[in-house]
Structure 1
Amino acid sequence: MSIKTIGRVLKERRTELGLGLSEAESFTKIQKLYIVALETDDYKALPGEFYVKAYLKQYAEKLGLNADKIIEAYENGKGIAVEDKDDIQETYRFVKPSERVEPEEELGPKDWHYYFPIIALSGVAITIVAAVFIAVILNNPSSPNLMSSDYSDSKSSILKPSVSSSKSTSESSTSSSSSSVAPAEKLEVTSISGSTMNITLSNAVDPIKIVFTGDANSNVWVLARNTDMSTAGVTISNQNPSATASLTSGATQSTITLGKRTNLAITINGQAVDLSKYTTTIGPYNIYLTVTPATGTTSNATTATSTATTTNSSAQ
């Protein structure tokens, strides 16, 4: 039996367990500096009385010593009676933390129930990432398509006003044309008496043209007064098969005289005069033409030209 200091007992016990200072520090969670102070009985190196007792108790318990006896010896300022090794042979084996078997490891391999929540959560996470990726791709087309779309929209926006303006102007012109174009011209025989015929051209539009046309056997003298025809008249023959006379501007009447009515055709503004209505074969024949002008009219050609001009101006 021998008396040893607390520090010596602690150091010998650590040595018996095969622990170096670094291993003891890791195992006991006490700084190496304080372990050295405890093993050399240098208690002044510790922060205070409270820490001295706390570290002595913690260190003794970790080393497998009786912590109460260690604290009692410290408080009494005495050493510790220790039996010599020759008297009692004790064998100690220190089990390092890495060699310890935790309770969970003793349970054996885990079944599929343990891993199922992990697998399920992983699947959900992958699905969410894939959905977000697809949404981003679908909502962000490539730049060339965007440029093409922008160009098309820009082009459409530039052209639309012109087309709309053209359409509006065209509709306006068409409406104006519909309301201003007079009824068609109408040529009718109002009376016939012997060699005299009275005819009327209603809804007439200038110029009023009288056309005389003969055939291969024609030899007919004709005259149209109040026209640009010579006052001497014209002979329609094989050498001069046709003649045209235009009514003087503003004139509403003309007297047409024919030497005979056979081998001859007459049209006024494209409408034929029916010479077969004469009941006599004895000439000369007089045709009294009365013209009734159309009021507030505009010719179709003029309206069409106006519409085309307006449309072109809008498009430009």
Structure 2
Amino acid sequence: MDEIGQKLRTARIEKGYTLDDLQQITKIQKRYLIAIEEGNFDALPGDFYVRAFIKQYADTVGLDSDALLTQFQQDIPDTQPQEYVEQSVESKTRATRAAAASPANKMRRHLPQIALAVLAVIIIAVVYFITWRASADNKQAIPADSSSVVVSSKKEPSVSKSSAAKNTASASSKASSSAVKKSSSSKKSSSSKTSDKLSVAVGTDANSVQAVTVKNWPAKSNTVTLAAKDSAAWVSVIINGTTTWQGSLSAGQTHTVSLPDGTTAFSVKSGNATATTIKLNKTNVDISNGTSIVRTINFTTESAGN
């Protein structure tokens, strides 16, 4: 095994990455990663890719890529920029982008929204028609002659002024009591909502690891929402040493993971932490006080009763 490849492989293992993990983060094919670790640079598509892939590999596993390329400069072939131009990813995907921007594809993408709009109009029309029919059926006919009106000649029994005053005072007392109860209930509800809000304390980034403590953690129905801001990011959620979800998020994309009831500790691993945002339930977690691009964020929770 080549010396530079051995150094990269050792750094990868120390980071806890498999070749599959590295392929997900760097988007470099696994067979090329194996070739780099074995020093078999002839297996790569061109001399330019040798330096580019080694640099990306080194940055991902936490090595100084520029120093590494300088140290092993004699072992790495010179770059040939024309090969990169010919095999550029941008040129390969230009045809795909042009096809996606065609009017037919745009129309096809908007078909679900159009169908929903038409369905909403139909539902509104049906509800309006049913309401109109019900209103028409409930109209009461006015009596044709006065014979249908019955007037009672009996007088209502008189009620003493003292009894009426007592009834009025009793009703006023009940209304006041009800208002006090509602006010008390409202205050309790407001107090409960305030105490249930998550309290998040984020530590600083140390050796690509960041600790977060969460207080007022509910016992169940918790979620963690992951998003990529202005660039793509590979992210995974780990609970009790098991990866619950992993995937690559494009810029502006979000993904929500439901945590099992009773979860008190979990981790989020990101291949591009500076572009990754995290939200617990409805509370944002600020992980900006870190500089590591590849980072593991460990969450420890405390319930509201602690």
TM category, shorter = 0.3 to 0.5
Q: Give the TM-score normalised by structure 1.
A: 0.38
Q: Which has the larger radius of gyration?
A: 1
**TM-score if structure 2 supplies the norm length?**
0.39
